Amino acid sequence: MVTIPIIDLTAFTNGDTITRQNIIKQIYQACHEIGFMYLHSGISKDLIRQVFNYSKSFFNLPLEVKQKQAWSDEFNNTGYVSLERERLDPNKPGDLKEALNVSKQAAMRIDASIVAFYDSCTEFANTVLQAYALALELPEDFFITRHNQQNHTLRLLHYPPLQTPPKPGQVRAGEHSDYGSITLLFQDNVGGLEVQTASGNWIVAPAIPDTVVVNTGDLMQRWTNDIFCSTKHRVMIPSDNRVKQSRYSMAFFCHPNDNTEIVCLESCQKEQSPIYSPILAGEYLLSRLQATYGNS
C-alpha cells in the first residue's frame, strides 16, 4: 500500500548534520517514488487562516464583480478564472471550480495578508528547493538562484457546492500534473484530492493538520531525468453530503526564472542518458497554459 509520507522539514532547517541528511534522504525517496509529500512548514497558522478568509470573501462576491478581474491571457496569467473556464483534462468537461491567480505584483495590489503569505510561501519553497538540490548532489543554492525572480503564482481556489448533477466525466479538477518545479498546497477538510501511484491506482490525499502538501512538477521531472516524478492528481466530487459544501484550497506554484534552461542535470544521467530536450522554463509554462485554456 503506497502512502504519501509526512516529513518534518523543520528538522532539516534546525537539525544537526545527521538529522539533515536523514530528511534529505526522505525527501529524495518521496520525490522518486510518488512525487508527493506532506511537510511541516512552520508557516503561521493565523496567516493561513487570514488568506483562507480573504479567499472566501472574494469568491462570495457577485460574478459580475469577480469578472472585472477576469484572467485575460497566458502571458499575464493573473486574475479571476470562472467556473468551467479551465479544462485540466482535455478529454473531460470544464472543471467545477473557480480561481484567482495572483502574482507577486498583483498581491501588492490586493491585501497585506496576501503579500505576507506569498513571501512566506516563497521562503518555505526555497528551503524545499535547497533540500532538493542537496538530494541531487548539487550546490545547495542551485535551484534557489534559478527561482530568484519569483515568477510564482499563488492560486486561490473555490469548488462550489453542486446544485445540479455534473456532466458525464466532469470533476472538480481534472487529472493533470503541475507545470513548474514544485507546488505547495493548503487545503481545507472537505477533501477530494487524489494522487495517482506508479501502479496507476488512485489514493486519497486528505488535509493533515499543520502540514503542507508538496509535489514535484513537470520541469523538475525534466531537470532530473524522471528521477523525481511529476505525478498526476485530480480533485473528485464527494459522494456524500460534502457535495453540498464549498471546498477551498490555496496552491502556490513555484516556477523557475523564464530564461532558465531546463536541461538534464549531470547527477541524473548516471543510469540513463537525457530523456528530454532542453527547453526554457518560460516557453514550457506558456505552452501548458495555452493547452489548458485553449480547450475551454
**Domain locations in the chain?**
6-294
What pLDDT score does 1 carry? 65
**Cα separation values, 48 from 9, 12, 81, Å:** 18, 22, 22
Q: Are 195 and 36 in contact (CB under 8 A)?
A: yes
What is the full per-residue pLDDT of the chain (296 aa) written as tens digits? 679 999 999 999 998 999 999 999 999 999 999 999 999 988 999 999 999 999 999 999 999 999 999 988 877 789 999 999 988 888 889 999 999 999 999 999 999 999 999 999 999 999 999 999 999 999 999 999 999 999 999 999 999 999 888 999 999 999 999 999 999 999 999 999 999 999 999 999 999 999 999 999 999 999 999 999 999 999 999 888 889 999 999 999 999 999 999 999 999 998 789 999 999 999 999 998 888 776 44
Classify the phi-psi angles of 33: left when phi > 0, otherwise alpha if psi is within -120 to 50, otherwise beta.
Answer: alpha
What is the three-class DSSP state of 64? helix
What pLDDT score does 294 carry? 67
Which spans in 90-229 are helix H?
Answer: 104-110, 112-135, 142-145, 218-223
Q: Are 183 and 5 in contact (CB under 8 A)?
A: no
What pLDDT score does 232 carry? 97
What pLDDT score does 121 carry? 97
User: What CATH code is assigned to 6-294?
Assistant: 2.60.120.330
What pLDDT score does 296 carry? 41
Q: What is the pLDDT of residues 117-146, one digit of tens each?
A: 999 999 999 999 999 999 999 999 999 999
- Residues 175, 153, 38, 249, CA torsion sign: negative
Q: What is the pLDDT of residues 239-284, one digit of tens each?
A: 888 899 999 999 999 999 999 999 999 999 987 899 999 999 999 9
What is the three-class DSSP state of 100? strand
Residue 293 — φ and ψ, nearest 5°?
-90, -25
Mean pLDDT of the chain: 93
C-alpha cell at 58: 472574494
What pLDDT score does 24 carry? 97
pTM exceeds cut of 0.85: yes
